[in-house]
Amino acid sequence: MSQNIPKPDRERAKKLRKVIRRHRYLYHVLDRQEISDEALDSLKHELSELERRFPKLITSDSPTQRVGGKPLDKFSKVRHTVRQWSFNDAFSEEEIREFDKRVRRMLLKELGRPSKIEYTCELKIDGFKTILTYKSGVLRVATTRGDGVIGEDVTQNVRTIESIPLRLERDIDVVVEGEIWMGKKAFAQLNKKRKKEGEPQFANPRNVAAGSIRQLDPKVAASRKLDSFIYDLASASVTLPQTQFKELKLLQELGFKVNPHFHLCKNIKEVISFWKSWARKRERQDYWIDGIVVKLNERTMQEKLGYTGKAPRYAIALKFPAEEVTTVVEDIVVQVGRTGALTPVAHLRPVTVAGSTVSRATLHNESEVHRLDVRTGDTVIIRKAGDIIPEVVEVLKDLRTGKEKKFTMPTACPACGGKVKKEVIGGKEGESAAHYCTNKNCFAQELEHIAHFVSKKAMNIDGMGEKVVAQLMNEGLIRDVADIYELKTGDLAALERFGERSAENLVEAIEKSKSVPLAKFLFGLGIRHVGIETAHLIAGNVAHITGGKEVRNVNDMARQFPKVSAQDWASVDGIGTTVAESLVEWFNNKNNTKLLKRLHSLGVTIVIPLKLHATRSKLQGKTFVLTGSLSSLSRDEAGEKIRAFGGKVSSSVSSQTDFVVAGGKPGSKYAQAKKLGVRIVNEQKFLKMLEE
């Protein structure tokens, strides 16, 4: 086949690509159509024939290459160039007003003056997050969110989505974030087809979107009629807009499909009005909406507030009121948690809520059971709090028959038979009572504790779910979390459902988990009241908490943390008295410190954030702007180091900028810094500052 492509054919292919891209954008992004589907198909067919005749005409951004990949054996892992975050949630008018007050307090502290605050509100689409990387305007990589640091490469599947451009309107480098979703009509058609073919139906469009993007064969994703909305410009080779509102406009100009219903609100009252209006009319859209996302409009303010361990401080997801349904309580069963807490759980007649089937709902504690007066056999209203956790909100007592059975908390642990202790929270009998199993060797407690320790958010031991933990405990191979690190392939290979290969894989995963960030390790210990956010707070303030004492490893934790008083723990902003007392109790328990020392001896190491050793860093509290290319590290890596040493990174130069780090070929920021008299340092000087 000749590769000497005649000039007319080359020019024709180029024009066809341009015209097809334009009509794709009109149809899939702007919802407009200037030519018929048949005419567009004819253009695509002509381009396909040209590329068949002259394969060298094929480009990675050609419209014919949307479904060009072969089925994969597995997805490869990709480290994100920009850290991925999730949003904190608000569920009421009171909570969003509290968010506004918190933002104002923090900005007053940062800027030293009251600020005029505006918010950009966007619809929160119930879909599947994706991160897209473009180089010189061409789509190179599409990934899943993963754990926020590492995701999976799903480029082949994402390329099948017509609303996602393979080439941008400008030849720039960008990383964008967005939501992949399936429309309600397409979802209904898919389920209708599956029912006809005798296949199980999907619960909701979000599950379909997530499942489709994680199919190894891109042809499956292509058949699902997926769509997208892009909402965030995470990084770019051009200057980022100074407001969220302008950022969304720029995304549209680049050729992305942006949800058109974003709105600039001048105050929190307008935010609440926007939220309420969309709660009423959300069902009119073809996509599922579960709330709105509220972001500070000004980028400089966003950068001042920064992030917590998992979420931005400048933004929040304001959820719509949860969907409520009625069902029948078939039984009330007590579960034993990792801290020994006994929790009554309502076993329900299965019912669909917000697109998923629910058969259980927590009743929290005895006080809640009494408050609701819920009994076995009752008809109840349940809802998903934040569309996540099912809970009983009301008993329909008018529907009682007289056969309903009252519930009482057991006096003995249902798992081990140990004595149950009742603790009253708040100091008044009946105000809120929690029950705990007093048997420290309770099988159920240790099972939950170990399962928590190995979970993804903690030590992340792949292949060691709760069933495997229970099996290992039943076989007497593990009694506590330290025993995990003494397991050998031979211990596992002979077990039921295990083989040589799966045993090797688990031992390999255990070995891999030995090096872990301090926050994940702290969270994995299962200390009462210490969630992942508190763990990050502790990890970021160890030097402050210990009065400057070194904590380099697990053994140091065992030595230093028992010396920390409740007042010292509580001196960290975000750690309250209850959490502080719990930390004191846990680290002063000799069995716990013995466990830490044993984990250390078995090779478990903690990765300490750099800033733990930098309380007197010259970078502390300084604002940096990076411009130009750095030779020894990427700008993202430089930014991480600045933050680790207590500094801040801004995307624009202002009078509040302390340093501009100028690499090769610096842009307009360099000139702006000179104009404002901001100190400019080269890469060598910057590296020296880090060393100092």
Distances, alpha carbon 505 to alpha carbons 117, 159, 346, 691, in Å: 52, 33, 38, 40
Q: Say if CB 564 and CB 589 are below 8 A apart.
A: no
- The helix/strand/coil state of 343 is strand
Task: Report residue 633 CA to chain centroid gap.
Answer: 27
Contacting residues for 346 by C-beta, under 8 A, at least 6 apart: 329, 331, 332, 360, 361, 362, 363, 374, 380, 392
Determine the Cα–Cα distance for residues 686 and 683; give it in Å rounded to an integer.
5
Q: Is there a catalytic annotation at residue 124?
A: yes
Q: Where are the beta strands (DSSP E) in 263-323?
A: 263-265, 289-296, 315-319
**Residues 11, 16, 18, 19: what is their CA dihedral angle, to the nearest 10 degrees?**
140
Q: Which residue, 173, 300, 291, is CA-closest to 234?
A: 173
Q: Which two tokens stand for residue 381?
A: 């209203």
Distance, CA of 54 to CA of 516 (rounded, Å): 52
Which of 84, 148, 172, 235 shows the shortest CA–CA distance to 651?
235
| N-terminal to C-terminal alpha carbon distance within the chain | 63
The size of the chain, in residues, is: 692
CA dist 262 and 120 (Å) reads: 7
Token pair 């007289």 is at which residue?
Answer: 402
Active-site residue, from 7, 14, 56, 124: 124
Half-sphere exposure of 353 (CA within 13 A, CB side): 27
* Distance (Å) of CA 154 to CA 72, 99, 210, 376: 10, 35, 11, 47
Beta-strand pair 341-353/324-336: antiparallel
Under 8 Å between Cβ of 165 and 139: yes
State how beta strands 659-662 and 150-152 pair: unpaired
Other Cβ atoms within 10 Å of 406 Cβ, number: 11
User: Which tokens hold the place of 553?
Assistant: 């490893």
**Residues assigned a catalytic role:** 124
